[in-house]
Amino acid sequence: MRVLVTGATGFVGPAICRALAARGHQVVAAARRPVPDLETRLVGDLGPDTQWSAALEGCEAVVHLAARAHVMDESEADPLAVFRRINCDGTLRLAEQAEAAGVRRFLFMSSIKVNGEATAPGRPFRADDPPAPVDPYGIAKAEAEAGLAALGGSMAVVILRPPLVHGPGAKGNLAALMRVLARGWPLPLGAVDNRRSLVGLDNLADAAGFLLDSDATGPVLVRDGEDVSTSQLMRLLAAGLGVRPRLLPVPPALLRLGGAGLGRGAAVARLLGSLTVDDAPLRALGWQPPLSLAAGLARMTAVFRERS
């Protein structure tokens, strides 16, 4: 099957392109410049006016990864409007033209942020939960999902909502935590006893290829085989980095109070809170993660050590 992949050069894209090629698919990258070792069809920036007809020619499936991702230091005056234009309107423009071009399957990489920011103990997010996004990124992804569901044509749409993705080259909070651990700095996270679902880059790519080849439609949640607390995650990262973690047992209530006082309440809440997902429907289809959480984290920390 000839598959058009948007976002082929991003954090997730190369792993998904490799996974699709390993399954025997012909991968075509949609990008603004040629992608080494891949057939590339040039397109402009993602948005409501992007022309996709030439890129879609001859393709039977689309894997849509391109998006405006989380922005650590937002500079836009109206972030929601920008996220909507790129992640919602741009997605629906692609989907409408894909359906018109005769594409049979469309896989959209969404986010667990469509479900919300935190889960209660023993109540993981489910794919059929009512959407409850909080930030502009999650809101735009939820609106894109709703628009895809309303297409109503013959093209089958499957939506993949990953939690935090780890893997070689990870940036953002994971990279920051690895830098702190590698430098031996103390972290006040020894008393944190939450539960977090994560998914490794290789596992996410394998799940995407599996779903593209299946008959599944609608939203699907994915995770590694086990959930961990933030303190357990720090220990796994430290082991991969070859350092001894310095985790101070500071009560979470004090951390929340300090975070609020510094204007970082939301960031601290994400670090201390639980976010777990129910991936039983995906497992019921026959998918199993090829790598354990520990093995995936080891790959990420090994690359971090090499590059550092």
Residues acting as catalytic residues:
137
Q: Where are the alpha helices (DSSP H) in 197-292?
A: 201-212, 230-241, 252-261, 265-272, 280-284
Read off the tokens for 90: 């741009």
CA pair distance 222, 158, nearest whole angstrom: 13
- Residue 6 CB contacts under 8 Å (≥ 6 apart), including other chains: 30, 31, 43, 46, 62, 63, 64, 65, 66, 94
What is each CA distance from 102 to 56, 57, 105, 163, 209, in whole angstroms? 9, 9, 9, 31, 20
Pairwise CA distance, residues 124 & 285, whole Å: 19
